Amino acid sequence: MITTLQNRIYEGLTNCTYQVALRMDCFWPNQIVDRFFMSIHRIYFHDCAVTGRLLQEPPNSILAPFIGVPVLVTLIMTALVVWRSKRTEGVL
Please list the pLDDT of the chain residue by residue as tens digits (92 residues). Answer: 556 777 787 788 888 888 888 888 888 888 888 888 888 878 877 776 666 666 778 899 999 999 999 999 999 999 999 988 887 655 55
Q: In whole angstroms, what is the distance from residue 83 CA to residue 81 CA?
A: 5
Determine the straight-line distance between the first and last CA of the chain, rounded to whole angstroms.
Answer: 77
DSSP state of 90: T
Task: Write down the domain spans for the chain.
Answer: 1-48, 59-92
* Stated pTM of the model: 0.42
Fold (topology level) of 1-48? DNA polymerase; domain 1 (1.10.150)
Cis peptide before 70 (omega within 30 of 0): no
The dihedrals phi and psi of 66, each to the nearest 5 degrees, come to -70, -20
Q: In whole angstroms, what is the distance from residue 92 CA to residue 80 CA?
A: 20
